Amino acid sequence: MGTSTDFDLFRLSEDHEALREAVRRVAEHKIAPHAAEVDDQARYPQEAHEALVASDFFAAHVPEAYDGVGADALATCLIIEEVARVCGSSSLIPAVNKLGSLPLILGASEELKVKYLTPLARGEAGFSYGLSERDAGSDTAAMRTRAVLHGDEWVLNGQKSWITNAGVSEFYTVLAVTDPDGPRGGNVSAFVVEKSDVGFSFGEKERKLGIKGSPTRELLFDNVRLPRDRMIGEPGTGLRLALRTLDHTRVTIGAQAVGIAQGALDFAVGYVKERRQFGKAISDFQGIQFMLAGMAMKLEAARQMVYVAAAKSERDDADLAFFGAAAKCYASDVAMEITTDAVQLLGGYGYTQDFPVERMMRDAKITQIYEGTNQVQRIVMARQLLSRS
């Protein structure tokens, strides 16, 4: 027979609930009013940026040792979820700050951590992540960016594609081949590149279907000279560190997907209770009720998967790779389904920019693609299953 303590495992702590309420207040009052304009103008959500910095939600994952809040993995997911509920573009600010800086937290020297995590925690600089290339997306080991050691400096040449918040962030974790003749995947190292480094520039902003407020650009490296101490960890460990990072940060994309889906469901529920046809609210029709029930059921299943994966991320459990991939994959598929259904529930209105659900549907799509497509997530899950003894 279970005890009350056993049941507490399935309930957020009072601190986590208080955090959710605090983030929701910031999101609704400081971020939501600008979400439609940010999307329409495809501009960076500066209002959200400033609100997140002011409330310590900008990079809450940074440990207290570096002037951070030290938020655990679940708390970070709650922040991302609540911001995504009103604006998918804005939720990428805390999400990408974790993605870009987690390699340092996992593998950098103490000197690098102090130098780069401290300004991130204070909201003085953002942190992006450079792994993908034009011809090395899912096949990350095929990257062509090179770093060659010359004296006390690494000289970096090449490019990175699809980099979130590129041009806005001050710091970038960049993966490059440092031993062209070394074993595939074991010849890659990770570096910190600063926006001000000579020879480092950005491509044009991509014109995207969704998350239009978050700039996506190429990183271009033309003989960028980096001090030797800019390397994160040991030579040849970069790809292993990058993939370990993704095991953790896929959970945050699951949280983003849950938030987007929740925003769409909330709006749809309010709409069907007000919209009247045939003399009554359309929420009185069983067909509508069944749609809402299915949407809510799948959303709650996705949320629980994300929270369990977040707990495993915090503990760095051995089965995190499976649970992180599963949470991201399921939550993003559910978000795409729920946002599409929300558009359907609003009928013709749902297809217009006068209502937020069409934006949420467009924003949801990318969650099935970035940080590993959902097809890749299924490969990750299958490998984990087949490797078990």
The CA radius of gyration of the chain, in Å to the nearest whole number, is 21
Residues identified as active-site: 371
Q: Please name which of 248, 266, 262 lies closest in space to residue 334, comparing C-alpha atoms.
A: 262
Among the candidates 236, 267, 298, a domain finishes at 236
Q: Please name which of 274, 300, 277, 291 lies closest in space to residue 342, comparing C-alpha atoms.
A: 291
Domain membership of residue 355 (yes or no) is yes
Among the candidates 121, 141, 158, a domain finishes at 121
244 & 378 share domain: yes
278 & 325 share domain: yes
CATH at 268: 1.20.140.10
Contact (Cβ atoms closer than 8 angstroms) between residue 200 and residue 224: yes
What pLDDT, on a 0 to 100 scale, did the predictor assign at position 356?
98
The 3-state DSSP class for residue 170 equals coil
Domain membership of residue 174 (yes or no) is yes
Check residue 30 and report its DSSP letter: I
Q: Please state the rounded mean pLDDT for residues 313-331.
A: 97
Regarding predicted confidence, which is higher, 4 or 109?
A: 109
175 & 220 share domain: yes
300 & 188 share domain: no
What pLDDT, on a 0 to 100 scale, did the predictor assign at position 11?
86
Domain membership of residue 369 (yes or no) is yes
Phi, psi of 214 (to 5 degrees): -100, 110
Give yes or no for residue 6 having a pLDDT over 60. no
- 86 pLDDT band (50/70/90 cuts)? very high
Q: CA–CA separation, 163 vs 160, rounded Å?
A: 7
CATH at 72: 1.10.540.10
- Is residue 308 packed enough to be buried (19+ CB in 10 Å), middle (13-18) or exposed (0-12)? middle
Domain membership of residue 298 (yes or no) is yes
179 & 114 share domain: no
Q: Please name which of 208, 204, 231, 233 lies closest in space to residue 219, comparing C-alpha atoms.
A: 204
17 & 78 share domain: yes
DSSP 3-state percent helix, strand, coil across the chain (nearest 5) = 55, 15, 30
Q: Please name which of 241, 92, 219 lies closest in space to residue 163, comparing C-alpha atoms.
A: 219
228 & 153 share domain: yes
What pLDDT, on a 0 to 100 scale, did the predictor assign at position 10?
73
Contact (Cβ atoms closer than 8 angstroms) between residue 26 and residue 55: yes
> 56: left (phi > 0), else alpha (psi -120 to 50), else beta?
left
Q: CA–CA separation, 373 vs 366, rounded Å?
A: 9
212 & 267 share domain: no
What pLDDT, on a 0 to 100 scale, did the predictor assign at position 4?
40
220 & 244 share domain: no
Percentage of the chain modeled with pLDDT above 70: 97
Residue with tokens 């992540």: 129
128 CB neighbour count, 10 Å cutoff? 28
Among the candidates 195, 217, 236, a domain finishes at 236
136 & 75 share domain: no
Cα distances (angstroms) measured from residue 377 to each of 185, 253, 323, 333, 374 = 19, 12, 10, 12, 5
176 & 313 share domain: no
pLDDT tens track for 60-73? 999 999 999 999 99
Domain membership of residue 258 (yes or no) is yes
- 138 pLDDT band (50/70/90 cuts)? confident
293 & 256 share domain: yes
Q: CA–CA separation, 199 vs 318, rounded Å?
A: 40
pLDDT tens track for 99-131? 999 999 999 999 999 999 999 999 999 999 999
Domain membership of residue 1 (yes or no) is no
Q: Which domain holds residue 318?
A: 240-387
pLDDT tens track for 203-252? 999 999 999 999 999 999 999 999 999 999 999 999 999 999 999 999 99
Contact (Cβ atoms closer than 8 angstroms) between residue 22 and residue 55: yes
Residue with tokens 């922040």: 79
**In angstroms, how far is the first alpha carbon of the chain from the final one?**
31
The 3-state DSSP class for residue 51 equals helix
Domain membership of residue 160 (yes or no) is yes
- 8 pLDDT band (50/70/90 cuts)? low
- 264 pLDDT band (50/70/90 cuts)? very high
What domain count does the chain have?
A: 3
Domain membership of residue 90 (yes or no) is yes
